[in-house]
Amino acid sequence: MTEKLFARPKSLTDVSTHYCPGCHHGIIHRLIAEVIDELDVQDKTIGVAPVGCSVLCYDYFNFDMIEAAHGRAPATATGVKRVHPDAVVFSYQGDGDLAAIGTAEIVHAAARGEKITTVFVNNAIYGMTGGQMAPTTLVNQVTTTSPYGRNPNFTGMPIKMSEMLATLDGAKYIARVAVNNPVNMIKAKKAIKQAFEIQLNGLGFALVEVLSICPTNWGMSPLEAVEWMEKNMVPYYPLGVFKVPEEVAK
């Protein structure tokens, strides 16, 4: 008699993803799927996919999905949630999607206290279009549209979305995590689970920012990319829970 100790979550489809070697999207997808399974809400979950590298995530999640226009996922998710208040609705967005073109939508979804969950994947670059500067690109970071390194005199400083959103009353849970090592993955999963529980308890808006690597567009091996992230991103984008309801914090 053998016991199955590890299996693909029900909430993931059995297909290979298109993500580059080393990319963190796959890990983050899996953590979300595990959480959906553990909360036993697969049958009433509706995900909203972004425009960006994870545009095809509707092929990987095994529940109802809507593909949104670039940046508009929080508005689309709002429409879905207002039709089905009992459903579990989340948006999955990258930094170009959420922190540039979709800034108004994420801010107002949070301000309204929209009872949705957002997973925000921040890899400090536009991946799908081939490595352009994002609002979260670090100072001096070289991209195809900041070929001499990001110059804050002309482009300002990188936006810290979690800190900004945490100032809004409607945002009930805001955390920044990373999936660069097993310990952080466990913490990331816990944060994602809490963000969904906030929604299930009807408390308001919840967002988890996940720092992620982009070896392809950073021009590094996956291992180098993880080191670069730890050395450069984590100091500017500190990990932690920025906002949590008292009853959840315990």
Partner 1 sequence: MAEKVLMKGNEAIGEAAIVAGCRHYFGYPITPQTELTEYMSRRMPKVDGVFLQAESEVAAINMVYGAAGAGARVMTSSSSPGISLKQEGISYIAGAELPCVIVNMMRGGPGLGSIQPAQGDYFQATKGGGHGDYHNIVLAPNSVQELVDITVLSFDLADQYRNPVMILGDGALGQMMEPAEFHSSNTGLVKKPWAAAGMRGRGKPNIINSLYLQPEALEQHNIHLQRKYALIKENEIRYEEIKTEDAELVLVAYGITSRIARSAMERARAEGMKVGMFRPISLWPFPEQQLAKSAENASALLTLELSAGQMIEDVRLSVGNIKPVHFYGRTGGMMPSPQEIYQEIVNIMNGKGGK
Q: Per CB under 8 A, which region of 51-59, 121-129, 152-160, 164-172 contacts partner 1?
A: 51-59
Site for partner 1 in 86-105 (CB under 8 A): 87-88, 104-105
Q: State residue 182 phi and psi, 5-degree precision.
A: -60, -40
Stretch that binds partner 1, among 74-82, 133-141, 215-223, 237-245 (CB under 8 A): 74-82
**Which 100-159 residues touch partner 1, going by CB under 8 A?**
104-105, 107-108
Exposure of 23 in the CB half-sphere (CA atoms within 13 A): 18
Bridge partner residues of 146 (DSSP): 143
CA 14/CA 61 separation, integer angstroms: 9
Which residues lie across from 67 on neighbouring strands? 49
Instruction: Report the residue number, 42 or 145, with the smaller CB distance to partner 1.
Output: 42
Cβ atoms of residues 102 and 86 within 8 Å: no
Q: Tell me the CA end-to-end span of the chain in Å, nearest whole number.
A: 41
Q: Determine the Cα–Cα distance for residues 213 and 194; give it in Å rounded to an integer.
A: 23
Q: Using CB under 8 A, which of 45, 136, 199, 217 touches partner 1?
A: 45
- Rounded to a whole number of angstroms, the minimum distance from the CB of residue 62 to partner 1 is 6
Residue 11 CB, shortest distance to partner 1, in Å, is: 10
Q: Which of 34, 64, 151, 137 is closest to 94 using CA atoms? A: 137
Shortest distance, position 101 Cβ to partner 1, whole Å: 10
DSSP 42: G
Query: Contact with partner 1 (CB under 8 A): which of 64, 224, 227, 230?
Result: 64
- Candidates 26, 37, 67, 113; binder of partner 1 (CB under 8 A) is 67
**Is residue 8 a contact point for partner 1 (CB under 8 A)?**
no
Q: Please report, as a single letter, which amino acid is at residue 25.
A: H
Both tokens of residue 131? 């490595």
HSE-up of residue 112 (Cα within 13 Å, Cβ side):
16
- Find the binder of partner 1 among 54, 78, 180, 194 (CB under 8 A): 78
Residue 45 or residue 117: which is nearer to partner 1 going by CB? 45
One of 54, 62, 93, 122 touching partner 1 (CB under 8 A): 62
- The answer to whether 68 contacts partner 1 (rule: CB under 8 A) is yes
Q: Under the criterion CB under 8 A, does residue 44 sit at the interface with partner 1? A: yes
Residue 17 CA, chain-centre distance (Å), reads 17
Placement of tokens 């697969």 in the chain: 42
Among 76, 162, 212, 216, binds partner 1 (CB under 8 A): 76
Residues that bind partner 1 (CB under 8 A): 42-46, 48, 55-56, 58, 61-69, 72, 75-84, 87-88, 104-105, 107-108
